[in-house]
Structure 1
Amino acid sequence: MKLVERLASQWALLGGILLLAIMIVTSVNIAAFGMDRVARLFGANVSALPGYEDFVRLAISCTALMFFPYCQVKRGHVVVDLFASSFPLWLVRLLDRVWLLTILSLAVFLLYWMVLGMIETYEDSALSPVLGWAEWPFYVPGILSLFLWAAVAAGQAVRGDHHV
């Protein structure tokens, strides 16, 4: 399980690097927009980054799920303990295991549909509108994220880890 946890941590770090790239590209694009406003006063223009929207949309689609496995490792998801703190420990552990299995089921369900979506996108030869990039490869990080999320939840359920 330590390997899966380490992978989740490194995967989240990669997600953070992608998020940083999105922020840098967005900042450059905003700066270009501002420079264009000034340049127009002098009869010139500064163009924004071509394909900015394509890049951000595709990169966000990768990055969004990359933090879920690490969040699961750290039990960073929302947990409602309003009543559970007064339950016997065996019941708290049972409820926690039920929710871990629910999370596992959700991750596998989403994984299944994402694989189908990737196959359909591949078969349709879908391309991003401006940059003309094939869209199906951008499903792969999401698929890996969902698989890793499921693996973490499964490991926690098998080991009987609980958040109490």
Structure 2
Amino acid sequence: MIENPVYPGQAHRTRPLGRLLDALARWLAIVGGLILVAITLLSAYSIAMRTLFDAPLLGDVELVQMGCGIAVVSFLPLCQLRRGNVIVDAFTLKASANVRRFLDTLGCLLMAVCAMLLAWRSAVGTLDTYANGEESIIMGIPMWWSMTPFAPAFALLAVVALYTAWLDYLGEGEQP
């Protein structure tokens, strides 16, 4: 049987859970990318209308802010899974592999804790915003609509960070 090779940054694909998390993270990143494309087109339309006809799209800034927030949080799980976060290793260059592995595991665990806290508080904030009926100023869009994707995306980030911590603990994570 021929197996697919595992390339650098792809150690997560060797396990069923890793493949599932990879699929979910990629799907979420694609959605985030499509949102960025949509807000780019929206901004271009608004700028063209403002320039050519002095008739900009009212509320375009609100839509861009909401879309950017959703897009950014959508990219985080894939970034963690693919080890795309910036790592400052100036102090660990000469450290042993075991020390680096321990620090990488600890970093992933801290990321998981932060993501869990953000997921929790995002859910609370979304429910609070829904209960208060808060709307955007110009377009009157309910604010909870744009906040709803945050909690699930942060929850996925937490699961991905725990998974990458487990890979690092086992020594299967990426070592620079």
TM-score > 0.5, shorter chain as reference:
yes
The gaps in structure 2 that reach 5 residues or longer are 1-17
Q: 1:20 aligns with which of 14, 37, 40?
A: 37
Deviation per CA, 1:60-91: give whole Å up to 9, x if none: 22112111111101111010121322111111
Does residue 29 of structure 2 align to residue 5 of structure 1? no
State the Cα deviation string for residues 75-129 of structure 1 (Å, max 9, x = none).
1101012132211111111111010101111111111111111111011101112
CA RMSD of aligned residues (A): 1.3
SS for the counterpart of 1:67 is helix
Of the candidates 120, 135, 160, which is equivalent to residue 128 of structure 2?
120
TM-score (norm 2): 0.83
**C-alpha distance in 2 between matches for 1:64 and 1:79:** 19
Counterpart in 1 of 2:174? Answer: 163
**Seq. identity, %:** 27
Residue 33 of structure 1: aligned partner = 50
* Structure 1 unmatched runs, 5+: 37-45
The residue number in structure 1 matching 2:10 is none
User: What secondary structure, in the 3-state scheme, does the structure 2 residue paired with 1:84 have?
Assistant: coil
The equivalences for 1:41-60 within 5 A come to 46-60=54-68
Whether the 8 Å CA contact 2:135–2:143 is kept in 1: the answer is yes
Among residues 141, 151, 157, which one is paired with 1:143 in the alignment? Answer: 151
| Structure 2 counterpart of 1:106 | 114
AA aligned to 2:104 is D
User: Would the aligned equivalents of 2:70 and 2:149 in 1 still touch at CA under 8 Å?
Assistant: yes
* Residue of structure 2 in register with 1:68 after alignment: 76
* 8 Å Cα contact 1:8/1:70 also seen in 2: yes
Structure 1 length as normaliser, TM-score? 0.88
The structure having more radius of gyration, on CA atoms, is 1
